[in-house]
Every structure is written in C-alpha cells, then in structure tokens.
Amino acid sequence: MNAIIAQRAPGFRPKVGAILGSGLGSFVEAVKAVAVIPYGDLPGFPETTVSSHAGNLVLGHVGPTPVAVLQGRAHYYERGRADEMKGAIQALAELGCETLLQTNAAGSLRLDMPPGSLMAITDHINFTGANPLFGVGPGHGRFVDMVDAYDPALTRRLLAAAKKVNVACHEGVYIWFCGPSFETPAEIRAARILGADAVGMSTAPETILARHAGLKVVALSLMTNYAAGLVPGPLGHEQTIAVAKEAAQNVKRVLCTFLESYGA
C-alpha cells in the first residue's frame, strides 16, 4: 500500500489526515492536489457504499500544510465491522500524519443548534457496544486511553479558525449510534439525558483507531437536521445531503483557515 502511494506521490509526507463526511467531499477543491488515488487501488482501504462518499485518497496541500484527505469513509452499518477504517488510518500514520481531522454530518439534539450549524466535538459517547479494537491482541496497545481523545489544543485552534472567518461554531459531545436506521425519539431522549449534543453514525470508531495509531484528533460536525422527535417531520438521507451541500462553503472556510495556520 505505501509503495503504491510512494509511486504516485514520491517523497510526499502529509502532516494532517482528514476524513470528509456525507456531503462534504467538495472540500477537495481547496486542496492543491499532488495525487488522487481511488481506494480500490489501495489494499486495506475500505469499499464505500454510500453515494456521497467518493472513495479517493487525495494528497496535496492546503496553504503550506501537506495533507492526506480521505474523500469518504466506510461505516459500521455497511458490513457490520467497526474497524472498516483501520487500514486507511494506519496508512495515514505510516505516511507521517500526526493529526486526524474528522468531519461528519450529524443530527442536532439542541434547539439552539439548528440545521446548518457547526459543532466542534469535545468528546464522544459510544452507544453501539462495538469497538474497532475488538480482536487486537496483547502487546498491541489495545487498552487505549480516551481522555482528551479530541485534542483540546487543536479544538481551540479549530474554534479560533471559525471565529476568524465569522462562522459560528458550537462545542459539544457526539454520540455514535450504529445506524443505518435513524434513531427513535425515545433513543434521542436517552441520548440527551446521557449528555449528548449531536448524534451520528461514524467518527467515534475512527477516533479510537486514530488514538490507537498515535494520532491526535480534532473533529467538526455539521448539523444537517434536528434529531428524531425534537421537531415534527420525517428524517431522510436526502435531507442530510441537501443541507450539507448548502453549508459546505462554511465548512470549507473553517477547515482551510485551520489547515493554513496548522504549522504556525
């Protein structure tokens, strides 16, 4: 795998790896690309089955910062494997990345955080009962410390980037449900009692894998809907994609500002 990447982008060493969530794949337009490699060409990378996840590794620069952008992810619900992103995240670490920057589309559990809002993730709740480190053997660091899993210093810099470009950005706790069905109103009431601010079907397993690989993590959620039961009306993936496309420019501005000053 690394030999393939080295052949396509000789000598390229990214500092930041990024995962683009549903409807946010257009961020790659901000990357001055050195190489674009389909996941299918890279052993260990996932096969994405969600239409809004293109499935490319984009190597290049955002400002002075060398980045490796994963244009889409695979989810636990696609094949029942929590470690779907293991090979991709290990590849980022082996390429030289020190930080994983995650994005996702999420449902808001707060009326003051309507669709289109951004939220920096400060912590997560794993509500699935699954873990991507199941099966990791003794001697391979399976007991990963998850205190400050979302790096506080990097989170402050992400919030500062949002403020610099006049984009409101909340802070809060993300709760991972396995999907693919949306949560029930009762489940959302339970999530609120547990202290969650946003709900989604990704991100937590990638954070666990990244911490296991020694990467720092910083994450940004885009609220694409209110979670079930907060307001009247049905939920659907089409709504997620539509709102994500509308808000993609704000996400792009925040991420570009964060990455352009990453090494400062």
199-220 confidence digits (pLDDT tens): 999 999 999 999 999 999 999 9
Averaged pLDDT for residues 63-82: 95
Q: What is the CATH number of the domain that holds 200?
A: 3.40.50.1580
What pLDDT does 25 receive? 80
Per-residue confidence band for 238, with pLDDT thresholds at 50, 70 and 90: confident
Tell me what the pLDDT averaged over the chain comes to: 93
Amino acid identity of residue 27, one-letter, is F
75 is catalytic: yes
CA gap 60, 55 in Å, rounded:
16
Within 10 angstroms of residue 235's Cβ, the number of other Cβ atoms is: 16
How many domains does one find in the chain?
Answer: 1
Residue found under tokens 């030289």: 96
Catalytic residue among 105, 219, 247, 248: 105
Domain of residue 110, residue span = 2-260
CA gap 232, 162 in Å, rounded:
31
What pLDDT does 1 receive? 66
Catalytic residue among 77, 174, 226, 262: 77
pLDDT over 90 for what percent of the chain? 81
Catalytic residue among 75, 124, 170, 212: 75
Averaged pLDDT for residues 25-43: 93
What pLDDT does 193 receive? 98
What pLDDT does 244 receive? 75
1 is catalytic: no
CA gap 63, 13 in Å, rounded:
15
146 is catalytic: no
Confidence check: pLDDT of 52 > 70: no
φ, ψ (nearest 5 deg) of residue 27: -60, -25
What pLDDT does 53 receive? 56
CA gap 21, 263 in Å, rounded:
24
